[in-house]
């Protein structure tokens, strides 16, 4: 990122109200900012992008099911006609808890309350080769890159004469058997089975492997045994090769090496095997758990740091029910944001704060068209009704009526025609060497 600048961020409006600085406009940060609209706070929302990304549908962008714009929402538009919320696009660098300053790529900002909600990034577990050659899916940009990479590989494969020389371009290997990996594997398998043969009739897609690798003994580890077994059955029915209790040792860009010296040939290794919290300088080692998450108390306040809070994937709050911390899912982030918004108001009024209590609303994953698994606190079900439930829940969670309409139209068209129309290979503009040097100098 750019070096932090030692001057105030320009054009921050003056206010008589306490200043709440929120870092990150993901589920947690955006929810908190919206809950504080028209409250007696000055809210400064910072993010390295100027849009909110709806992460649960990244895989549909990656597999040409949705446009990137359908699951991205401009942050400035959200806060139109909102006098007490200001957005700035910046990358955070460090925090000084003594002077109460947050340093960013655009300058520093003073705060009365600081809320860290930067979420998490991809965890490669220290394997530098995998980090260099594999493709993650934690942003819209990465999802678009995957889409381009898959389409580009088939455009290249069709120009190769011998079928055995096409395998490394056609095969797709996905690592990680959580919801992201399962949904991605199912969507790519359906592309292979129903869509890509229409585009590339000269290629033999029976030779294309879609492989899902999971280090644990089951898919969808936190979900019920019924959901785990149905997800496995659905994937195998789509022709996905599922490898459980299998570790990936290495990857050189073309060959995936598994434990036991098993080799898979692919140029497309999609990594969905784990996450690690995004870090910020300014905290001591004692403030972090061994997995890198910031230790917080029952009010989401970073231990030993008055007025600094952490919510969502970056934080670790333990209690009797969750001795290892809450699951790193959107519902935890959203509920923590709501609780913190109430506590900030109570704190300013010197009223009693309420400890965070997570209410598990259930979990779900889609495996393909008309195939999904749903675990609710009171019932578990699979199949078509689960798929319709998944569609409804995710449609309602998307920001903006227009975005919901676009997603609904896309889903309806794809269901009726089974022929998504977003299979475009859009390459980035070539950057001249002189421009490249200017960009480097700016950074």
Residue-range domain boundaries for the chain: 128-273+369-396
Non-local (6+) Cβ contacts of 236 within 8 A are: 242
Of 6, 7, 3, 77, the C-alpha closest to 45 is: 77
CATH architecture of 128-273+369-396: 3-Layer(bba) Sandwich (3.50)
- Tell me the C-alpha distance between 108 and 189, whole Å: 48
- Tell me the C-alpha distance between 150 and 267, whole Å: 9
Q: With 0-12 CB in 10 A as exposed, 13-18 as middle and 19+ as buried, what is 324? A: exposed
3-state secondary structure of 86: strand
Residue 413 to residues 172, 191, 410, 416, 418: CA-CA distances in angstroms?
Answer: 26, 15, 5, 5, 7
> CA 243, 244, 247: angle at the middle one, nearest 5?
85
Of 274, 173, 180, 178, the C-alpha closest to 219 is: 178
Q: Extract the residue ranges of the chain whose pLDDT is less than 70.
A: 1-3, 415-423, 427-443
Sign of the alpha-carbon torsion through 159, 160, 162, 165: negative
- pLDDT at site 356: 98
Q: With 0-12 CB in 10 A as exposed, 13-18 as middle and 19+ as buried, what is 195? A: buried
Cα 392 to chain center, whole Å? 20
What pLDDT, in 10s, does the model give residues 402-437?
A: 788 888 887 877 766 666 665 677 766 554 554 445
**Whole-model pTM?**
0.91
- pLDDT at site 149: 92
Provide φ and ψ at 294, rounded to 5°. -75, 130
């Amino acid at each position: 990122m750019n070096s932090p600048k030692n001057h105030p961020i320009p054009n921050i409006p003056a206010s008589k109200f306490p200043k709440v600085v929120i870092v990150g406009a993901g589920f947690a940060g955006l929810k908190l900012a919206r809950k504080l609209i028209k409250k007696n706070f000055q809210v400064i929302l910072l993010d390295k992008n100027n849009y909110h990304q709806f992460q649960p549908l990244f895989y549909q962008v990656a597999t040409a099911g949705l446009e990137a714009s359908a699951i991205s929402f401009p942050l400035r538009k959200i806060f139109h006609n909102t006098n007490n919320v200001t957005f700035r696009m910046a990358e955070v660098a460090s925090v000084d808890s003594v002077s109460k300053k947050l340093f960013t790529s655009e300058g520093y900002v003073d705060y009365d309350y600081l809320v860290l909600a930067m979420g998490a990034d991809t965890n490669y577990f220290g394997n530098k080769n995998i980090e260099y050659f594999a493709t993650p899916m934690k942003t819209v940009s990465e999802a678009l890159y995957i889409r381009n990479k898959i389409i580009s590989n088939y455009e290249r494969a069709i120009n190769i004469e011998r079928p055995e020389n096409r395998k490394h371009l056609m095969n797709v290997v996905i690592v990680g058997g959580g919801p992201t990996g399962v949904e991605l594997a199912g969507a790519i398998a359906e592309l292979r089975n129903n869509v890509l043969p229409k585009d590339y009739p000269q290629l033999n897609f029976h030779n294309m492997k879609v492989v899902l690798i999971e280090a644990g003994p089951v898919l969808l580890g936190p979900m019920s045994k019924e959901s785990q077994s149905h997800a496995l059955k659905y994937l195998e029915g789509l022709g996905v090769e599922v490898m459980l209790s299998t570790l990936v040792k290495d990857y050189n860009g073309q060959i995936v090496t598994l434990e036991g010296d098993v080799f898979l040939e692919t140029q497309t290794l999609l990594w969905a095997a784990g996450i690690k919290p995004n870090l910020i300088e300014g905290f001591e080692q004692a403030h972090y758990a061994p997995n890198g998450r910031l230790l917080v108390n029952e009010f989401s306040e970073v231990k030993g740091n008055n007025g600094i809070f952490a919510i969502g994937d970056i934080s670790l709050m333990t209690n009797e029910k969750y001795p290892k911390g809450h699951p790193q899912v959107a519902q935890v982030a959203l509920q923590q944001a709501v609780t913190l918004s109430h506590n900030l108001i109570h704190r300013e009024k010197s009223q009693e704060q309420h400890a965070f209590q997570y209410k598990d609303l259930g979990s779900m994953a889609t495996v393909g068209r008309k195939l999904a698994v749903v675990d609710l606190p009171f019932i578990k079900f699979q199949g078509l009704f689960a798929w319709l439930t998944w569609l409804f829940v995710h449609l309602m969670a998307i920001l903006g009526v227009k975005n919901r309409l676009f997603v609904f139209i896309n889903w309806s068209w794809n269901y009726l025609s089974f022929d998504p129309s977003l299979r475009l290979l859009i390459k980035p503009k070539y950057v001249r060497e002189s421009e490249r040097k200017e960009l480097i100098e700016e950074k």
